[in-house]
Amino acid sequence: AQSVTQLDSQVPVFEEAPVELRCNYSSSVSVYLFWYVQYPNQGLQLLLKYLSGSTLVKGINGFEAEFNKSQTSFHLRKPSVHISDTAEYFCALRNTGFQKLVFGTGTRLLVSP
Amino acid sequence: DAGITQSPRYKITETGRQVTLMCHQTWSHSYMFWYRQDLGHGLRLIYYSAAADITDKGEVPDGYVVSRSKTENFPLTLESATRSQTSVYFCASRGTRGETEAFFGQGTRLTVV
């Protein structure tokens, strides 16, 4: 069975501060990993994805994530957040041989001035 | 416009009524998915489809029916709506290349009273 754990349901941070949103996964086979962002009343938008190769993945809006196979983690980071980054962030995985995305429960990032 | 669209965006229905949520994509993607989003659960897969006339159950299929007579459409029907089906429903599609990400619609907020 596969699963995704997002350890923090909510992360408050001040504008221009760095942030890390944590994601751990469980799978017995190779996986693709994704981070999606959901702004209020909108659908999910892909931030970045890890397929293979370099473990550091850069995405849109200045976000990046690092795949760590030994720790089964895929944490999302941004060195300096903006008010506009306030949103819900979802980590997801898909086994390379399957079609279904498995999501974590989400982390709400709250950026305040 | 190219993309994936859901209708309606908002729906209020009564317990016991049948309701159908529509999903339409213009990319000719083979794979389509229905998820429901609930607080504390993230997104959970209801049904998915690998191609026209091929559908399969996801994590939470009870009380839902899907069909896919055409590649571009993937309607979700609640045969007899219950209050527990109050949720936000997202449709997604994906191409056949293994590494491609899923693209999501804007969601349908369904309230069962």
Please tell me the predicted confidence (pLDDT) of residue B2.
67
Q: Note whether B90 contacts A43, CB cutoff 8 Å.
A: yes
Cβ contact A107:A10 at 8 Å: yes
Cβ contact A26:A1 at 8 Å: yes
Q: Cis omega before residue B8 (within 30°)?
A: yes
Tally of CB atoms within 10 A around A84: 10
Q: How far off is chain B from A33, nearest CA to CA, in Å?
A: 10
Tally of CB atoms within 10 A around A72: 15
Which pLDDT tens digit goes with each residue over B13-24?
A: 999 999 999 999
pLDDT beyond 90 at A98: no
Q: How far off is chain B from A45, nearest CA to CA, in Å?
A: 7
Which pLDDT tens digit goes with each residue over A1-47?
A: 789 999 999 999 999 999 999 999 998 888 899 999 999 888 999 99
Please tell me the predicted confidence (pLDDT) of residue A53.
86
Q: Note whether B106 contacts A43, CB cutoff 8 Å.
A: yes
Q: Of A79-83, A97-101, B7-11, B52-56, which gets the smallest average pLDDT?
A: A97-101
Please tell me the predicted confidence (pLDDT) of residue A105.
93
pLDDT beyond 70 at B98: no
Which pLDDT tens digit goes with each residue over B27-76?
A: 989 999 999 999 888 899 999 999 999 999 999 999 999 999 999 999 99
